[in-house]
Amino acid sequence: MSLASDIGAARGRRKPQRALRPQREGAVLKSGIGGRYAPYLCIFPALAMSLSFIGFPLAQTAWYSLHAWDGISAPEWRGLQNYAQVLASANFQQALQNVGVLLVFFCIIPVSAGLVTAAIISRRKLPGMGFFRSVLFLPQVIALVVTGMAWRWMYSFEGVINQILTAVGLEDYTRIWLGDFDWALLAVGLVMTWVASGFSMVLFLSGIARIDSSLYDAARIDGAGPVAEFFAVTLPGVKQELGVAVTITLVGGLRAFDVVYVTTAGGPGTATTVPAFEIYVTAFRDQAVGQAAAMAVLLTAMILAAVLILRRIMGMK
Amino acid sequence: MRRANLNLTVSYAILGLAALAILLPLYSILVVAISPQSAPAIGLGLPADPQWSNFAAAWAQGNFGVLIKNSTVIAVSVVAVAVVFSVLSGFAFSMMEFPGKRLLFLPLLVGLVLPFEAVILPLYYNLRALGLTDSPLGVILPEVGLYVAFGTLWMRAVFAGVSREIVEAARIDGANAMQLLWIVLIPMCRPAITTLVVLFFLWSWNEFLVSLVILQDPLQRTAPAGLGAFVGEYLTNVPLLAAGAIYVALPVVIVYFFLQRYIIEGLTQGAVKG
């Protein structure tokens, strides 16, 4: 799934706060309306689909992870051995390390760059802003497979990146970016920065636009410069957007698959492999379903932990 | 005054650079797609002799007609089913009280947080056992299963935002639950439902991992998964790959062009309201 779906997920994830609170405002139709069974009939289709295709398979993944299985013959109980093997495997360790680096490019850089640039851009309505917003958001709607393919050419030996480097006199730095052991991960990371930055900027621009302008006036009367104004007014004003942006990009980065699959297939060697790609390869190429499932459980646990920790930090209930 | 002008210049400079950085790779796909197959232009200049026939060649060799038809069937089915299910369950969770409400809500919360990576292995073996791999249903069902979680929470928040007076008035007029939903709530919430339609379409169209794993038969693949496979087969024929990439991207870009208000506002404004 593209980042857009993560946005959705993270966006929706905020809703439960309201869900878990006692729901006085929703209790409009107390009883009798549509009969006793109407509520259950209404939720049944969605719930059944969610349980059959997400809830139940999730339990199965956990069950697989405790077995040795090639996908064909009878599964064999292994307890926690799969986890021990996966955690000790060089490929998975490399994948974890790589995903850590990619988070810098998919989360930290886009969010901070988006925040700072959005803060610099005048809070007035700029003519042509609609056009820029459309363009900045474009990477969100294009399939990551297409994005990855576009960047393959950007990075190829005669590609645009090398041409630009040559044009500014840096021809010594030209290389086949995606095939270079030292640079491939950085190159993949920049693709992810390309995907996430515009989104984060648009998110912060709309957040800043909703800050009460009297707060800025007050800060100016108090003699605040641009930097003080940023920390006193802008940053607190976009706290929610910050939480959303970090959650979405962090989860999206942890589960990165499409871009890696298309640009490098994890290579050269394992230089750009990520956990999601290891799951895919281990299960469907190596037929080690149990180990792949253990990786999937670990990845899911990381994503859940990241979301929970973020909510705590960002003060979301 | 001068400071304001400087600020304006800096703002446009930042926006211009960002827009340029985003458009550059997309522009380069176009350039490559119309360059001669024997000598693909990888740089920035437009080819002297644009080969529009590459699009026809890619269409034929990459089977994009079939791929796009498959993607359309899947995306349209997912949208239709997932939106109806989401509206119904969002309605129940926002407007009705019933025993077990909170407990029954939990599985949907789980669905919100999980990526397909967490369930893709059992999904594949379950669907294979049911004979649904290599069939559109094999992708439609899991996508509906994942998207209804978001959809339910979305519709629940939307319906909860409808003013109580309106709901009470409908009840006093004797509307039953279904009348309240169809005659009052759905027409009032049409923009939010449109957002859901557009988002589901976008997600389904662009979904890669599920299609890649579930649909192995080249004639059943979706457009993004077909493109992914096309990369392996036609690695050397760069212009055809570029033309194929454009076929995959074009439908969503068209949808985005007409409905971007729903997409951007749904994903940014909406993201924060909750």
Digit-coded pLDDT (tens) for B214-243: 999 989 999 999 998 887 676 678 888 899
Q: What is the mean pLDDT of chain B?
A: 89
- Output DSSP code: residue B199: H
B244 domain residue, yes or no: yes
B160 domain residue, yes or no: yes
Model ipTM? 0.91
Q: How confident is the model at residue A225 (pLDDT cuts 50, 70, 90)?
A: confident
Asked whether residue A317 carries a pLDDT value surpassing 60, the answer given is no
Write out the residue range of the structural domain in which residue B38 sits.
2-51
> Which string of DSSP letters, residue by residue, matches B36-79?
-SSS---SSSPPSS--THHHHHHHHHTTHHHHHHHHHHHHHHHH
Query: A302, A262, A275: which is closest to B227 by C-alpha?
Result: A262
User: Across residues A154-166, what is the average pLDDT?
Assistant: 89
Phi first, then psi, for residue B135 (nearest 5°) are: -135, 145
| Chain B residues near residue A19 by CB distance under 8 angstroms | 93, 102, 105, 109, 153, 156
B128, B247: one domain: yes
Q: Is A154 in Cβ contact with B228 (below 8 Å)? A: no
Q: Is B270 in Cβ contact with A257 (below 8 Å)? A: no
For chain B, the domain total comes to 2
The CATH number that applies at residue B71 is 1.10.3720.10
Q: Give the nearest partner residue to B145 out of A49, A60, A64, using CB atoms.
A: A49
Q: Which domains does chain A have, with CATH numbers?
A: 3-11+81-313 (1.10.3720.10)
B155, B207: one domain: yes
B199 domain residue, yes or no: yes
**Percentage of chain B with pLDDT > 70?**
94
- pLDDT, tens only, B170-180: 888 888 888 99
Q: Give the nearest partner residue to B107 out of A6, A50, A150, using CB atoms.
A: A50
Strands A67-68 and A76-77: antiparallel
Pick the more confident residue, A206 or A49. Answer: A49
Pick the more confident residue, A245 or B274. Answer: A245
B56 domain residue, yes or no: no
Q: Is B260 in Cβ contact with A61 (below 8 Å)? A: no
| Chain B residues near residue A147 by CB distance under 8 angstroms | 25
B104 domain residue, yes or no: yes
Whole-number Cα distances in Å, B248 to A8, B176, B242: 22, 45, 10
Q: Is B267 in Cβ contact with A13 (below 8 Å)? A: no
B96, B228: one domain: yes
B230 domain residue, yes or no: yes
Give contacts of A 80-99 with B, CB under 8 A. none
B15, B147: one domain: no
Q: How far is B265 from chain A (nearest CA, A)?
A: 9
B33, B69: one domain: no
B268, B146: one domain: yes
Q: How far is B43 from chain A (nearest CA, A)?
A: 5
Cβ proximity of B136 and B73 under 8 Å: yes
Give contacts of A 18-37 with B, CB under 8 A. 18-20, 25-31, 33-34
Report cis status (omega within 30 of 0) of the bond before B107. Answer: no
Write down the residue that tokens 């979305």 correspond to.
B154
SS3 of B261, please?
helix
Q: Given this model, what pLDDT does residue A9 score?
A: 41
A1 → chain B, closest CA residue: B207
B137, B261: one domain: yes
Domain boundary among B51, B74, B92: B51
B80, B213: one domain: yes
- pLDDT, tens only, A116-127: 999 888 667 788
Q: Given this model, what pLDDT does residue A13 score?
A: 37
Q: Is B263 in Cβ contact with A14 (below 8 Å)? A: no
Asked whether residue A190 carries a pLDDT value surpassing 80, the answer given is yes
Best of B7, B268, B273 to substitute, by most chain A Cβ atoms within 10 angstroms, is B268
B157, B187: one domain: yes
Cβ proximity of A60 and B117 under 8 Å: no
> Which string of DSSP letters, residue by residue, matches A231-274?
IIIIHHHTHHHHHHHHHHHHHHHHT--HHHHHHTTT-STTTT--
B94, B192: one domain: yes
Query: B87, B264, B257: which is closest to B187 by C-alpha?
Result: B87
B57 domain residue, yes or no: no
Q: Give the nearest partner residue to B86 out of A31, A46, A141, using CB atoms.
A: A46
Q: Is B109 in Cβ contact with A258 (below 8 Å)? A: no
B33, B77: one domain: no
B203 domain residue, yes or no: yes
B40, B138: one domain: no
